């Protein structure tokens, strides 16, 4: 790409940035927590439609995807589960095709009184846009669209197919991205503008969700000794699982050798008991764990079940009433970026032109939808995106200067990777 075009593209992103921030705030205002994404998806479909893209909006059906590699089992209804893809097709294909994928789903807000301002009333303060989902990842989702707009503003369109994907289910299964593969979407590269802190993700851990269901023996609390307290029985089981976490942190994969604590096992939900004056007869806790490339889902499940069984064996009641381990939600394999040299080269060049600094890669301690493209479709996929803070926490925010520069990178990437053609007037 010549210098003039590169400069023009950067200027075009900057010129549209106020509008981009407004659009990001508008999307962030739509509370697209799990099961509630459809309104935000309608909004995205309308945005794609306005830009002359072919809009594909469909309801995800579990039976269409459950046999595919990468599927994660679900315990909730998909009655309202819609994906949206905006498709640009060139007049004459000259360049390489591109998927720009982002997720519209956001995690729950938690107690509202812990937020300085309401999570779904986005506001800008000191160069940051605040709101649930602003960083993870509506900032990036809209950045992809704004990058497309910047090219358009100069009178161009990409000279290859560009698929703008707005998917659901990233925060719990990845089944939204999987449904895009099932629908047939393929491209020569995929970019996912998750909050990657002005860099790209070199590798991601595997992530698994499971539930442990523990039984007890209910009695009146007046003679509690005759009963078995299902809630308190969970404590040694949790401790045994944390021992496994310690072992995997000690025994770490070389890619995470400099990370202080890559593996995290978190008891994230717990429920149990029926009455304050009854020894609880049941308790169920949810755990999210992570693991390294090289560990299979099967071996991880074996290790988890082994730890649970071992802890139960030390308890007379549990030894005869073993806890049950149930899997739903993430069964996500680890992914190390591979076969992405060409994509990386173009992204690095684009990033350098936008930031005036080299592109840096990091291994992350979570998962992203990149694994679907990379592992199951042979599409080189890079997660690259802005600086964000406190996502999944309180006062989530995305840095606007970072978002602007990331958008420039994506626009430059589109021009370089796909090539450009003159837009019909
Ligand atoms: Zn995300």
CA of 122 to the centre of ligand 1 (A): 18
Q: How far apart are CA 261 and CA 271, in angstroms?
A: 28
pTM for this model (two decimals): 0.95
- The yes-or-no verdict on residue 179 having pLDDT over 80 is yes
Same domain, yes or no: 21 and 111: yes
Q: How far apart are CA 329 and CA 71, in angstroms?
A: 9
CA of 342 to the centre of ligand 1 (A): 25
Name the domain boundary from 332, 365, 392.
332
The total domain count for the chain is 2
DSSP 35: T
Q: Determine the pLDDT at residue 60.
A: 97
Backbone phi, then psi, for 124, in 5-degree steps? -105, 135
Same domain, yes or no: 187 and 63: yes
CA of 192 to the centre of ligand 1 (A): 9
Same domain, yes or no: 182 and 328: no
For residue 354, CA distances in Å to 10, 114, 157, 409 come to 7, 36, 20, 6
Same domain, yes or no: 314 and 364: no
Same domain, yes or no: 60 and 76: yes
CA of 171 to the centre of ligand 1 (A): 7
CATH number at residue 267: 3.30.70.360
CA of 193 to the centre of ligand 1 (A): 9
Q: Which residues make beta-bridge pairs with 326?
A: 211
Name the domain boundary from 308, 332, 356.
332
CA of 20 to the centre of ligand 1 (A): 19
Strands (E) across 145-295 are located at 156-158, 162-167, 190-192, 199-204, 206-215, 266-272, 282-291
Same domain, yes or no: 328 and 359: no
Residue 1 confidence class, pLDDT cut points 50, 70, 90: confident
CA of 24 to the centre of ligand 1 (A): 15
> Do the bridges between strand 54-59 and strand 156-158 make them parallel or antiparallel, or are there none, so unpaired?
unpaired
Q: At what angle do helices 17-28 and 38-50 cross, to 10 degrees?
A: 150
Same domain, yes or no: 303 and 215: yes
Proportion of the chain above pLDDT 70, given as a percent? 100
CA of 91 to the centre of ligand 1 (A): 33
The answer to whether 189 and 381 are in contact (CB under 8 A) is yes
CA of 304 to the centre of ligand 1 (A): 26
Q: Model confidence over 120-178: pLDDT tens digits?
A: 999 999 999 999 999 999 999 999 999 999 999 999 999 999 999 999 999 999 999 99
Average the pLDDT over each of 100-114, 219-233, 255-269, 380-394 and give the range with the smallest value: 219-233
Three-point CA angle 337, 342, 348, nearest 5°: 85
Name the domain boundary from 332, 367, 392.
332
Q: How far apart are CA 36 and CA 397, in angstroms?
A: 21
CA of 316 to the centre of ligand 1 (A): 43
For residue 64, CA distances in Å to 93, 132, 299, 393 come to 31, 31, 27, 34
Which is it for the CA torsion 201, 420, 161, 165, positive or negative? positive
> Do the bridges between strand 54-59 and strand 206-215 make them parallel or antiparallel, or are there none, so unpaired?
unpaired
Q: How far apart are CA 235 and CA 122, in angstroms?
A: 40
Average pLDDT of the residues in 255-269: 96
Same domain, yes or no: 194 and 343: yes
CA of 137 to the centre of ligand 1 (A): 5
CA of 28 to the centre of ligand 1 (A): 13
CA of 78 to the centre of ligand 1 (A): 20
Higher pLDDT, 408 or 218: 408
CA of 140 to the centre of ligand 1 (A): 9
Same domain, yes or no: 324 and 342: no
CA of 126 to the centre of ligand 1 (A): 23
The answer to whether 82 and 57 are in contact (CB under 8 A) is yes
Residue 225 confidence class, pLDDT cut points 50, 70, 90: confident
Q: Determine the pLDDT at residue 296.
A: 97
Same domain, yes or no: 73 and 178: yes
CA of 157 to the centre of ligand 1 (A): 28
Burial 138-152 (b: 16+ CB within 10 A, else e): bbbbbbbbbbbbbbb
Give the domain extent around 328: 209-332
CA of 368 to the centre of ligand 1 (A): 7
Three-point CA angle 182, 186, 191, nearest 5°: 110
Q: Which residues make beta-bridge pairs with 100?
A: 164, 191
**Measuring CA to CA, which residue among 410, 337, 330 is closest to residue 371?**
337
For the chain, how far is it from start to end, CA to CA, in angstroms?
23
- Site of tokens 């770490």: 252
> Do the bridges between strand 98-103 and strand 190-192 make them parallel or antiparallel, or are there none, so unpaired?
parallel
Same domain, yes or no: 151 and 284: no
Q: Model confidence over 135-146: pLDDT tens digits?
A: 999 999 999 999
CA of 214 to the centre of ligand 1 (A): 32
Same domain, yes or no: 346 and 215: no
Q: Model confidence over 289-347: pLDDT tens digits?
A: 999 999 999 999 999 999 999 999 999 999 999 999 999 999 999 999 999 999 999 99
CA of 33 to the centre of ligand 1 (A): 12
Q: Determine the pLDDT at residue 75.
A: 85
Average pLDDT of the residues in 88-111: 97
Three-point CA angle 215, 212, 330, nearest 5°: 160
CATH number at residue 76: 3.40.630.10
CA of 69 to the centre of ligand 1 (A): 21
Residue 243 confidence class, pLDDT cut points 50, 70, 90: very high
CA of 312 to the centre of ligand 1 (A): 36
């Amino acid at each position: 790409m010549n210098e003039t075009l590169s400069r023009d593209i950067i200027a075009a992103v900057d010129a549209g940035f106020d509008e981009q921030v407004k659009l990001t705030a508008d999307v962030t205002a739509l509370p697209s927590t799990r099961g509630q994404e459809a309104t935000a998806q309608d909004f995205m479909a309308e945005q794609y439609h306005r830009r002359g893209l072919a809009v594909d909006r469909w309801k995800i059906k579990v039976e269409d995807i459950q046999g595919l590699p990468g599927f994660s089992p679900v315990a909730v209804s998909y009655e309202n589960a819609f994906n949206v893809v905006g498709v640009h097709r060139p007049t004459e294909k000259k360049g390489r095709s591109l998927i720009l994928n982002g997720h519209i789903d956001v995690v729950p807000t938690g107690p509202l009184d812990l937020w300085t301002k309401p999570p779904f009333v986005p506001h800008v303060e000191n160069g940051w846009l605040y709101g649930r989902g602003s960083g993870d990842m509506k900032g990036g989702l809209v950045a992809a669209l704004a990058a497309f707009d910047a090219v358009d503003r100069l009178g161009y369109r990409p000279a290859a197919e560009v698929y703008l994907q707005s998917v659901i289910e990233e925060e719990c299964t990845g089944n939204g991205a999987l449904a895009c593969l099932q629908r047939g979407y393929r491209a020569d590269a995929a970019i996912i503008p998750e909050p990657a802190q002005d860099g790209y993700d070199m590798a991601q851990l595997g992530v698994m969700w499971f539930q442990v269901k523990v039984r007890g023996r209910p009695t009146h609390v007046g003679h509690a000794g005759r009963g078995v307290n299902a809630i308190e029985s969970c404590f040694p089981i949790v401790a045994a699982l944390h021992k496994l976490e310690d072992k995997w942190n000690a025994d770490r994969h070389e890619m995470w050798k400099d990370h202080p604590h890559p593996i995290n096992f978190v008891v994230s939900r717990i429920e149990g008991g029926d009455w304050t004056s009854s020894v609880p007869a049941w308790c169920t806790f949810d755990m999210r764990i992570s693991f390294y490339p090289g560990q299979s889902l099967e071996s991880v499940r074996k290790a988890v079940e082994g730890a649970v069984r071992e802890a139960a064996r030390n308890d007379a009641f549990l030894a005869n009433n073993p806890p049950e381990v149930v899997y739903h939600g993430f069964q996500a394999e680890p992914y190390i970026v591979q076969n992405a040299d060409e994509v990386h080269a173009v992204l690095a060049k684009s990033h350098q032109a936008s930031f005036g600094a080299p592109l840096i890669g990091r291994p992350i301690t979570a998962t992203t939808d990149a694994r679907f493209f990379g592992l199951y479709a042979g599409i080189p996929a890079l997660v690259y995106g802005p600086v964000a803070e406190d996502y999944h926490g309180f006062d989530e925010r995305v840095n606007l200067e970072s978002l602007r520069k990331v958008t420039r990178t994506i626009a430059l990437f589109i021009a370089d990777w796909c090539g450009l053609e003159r837009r019909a007037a």
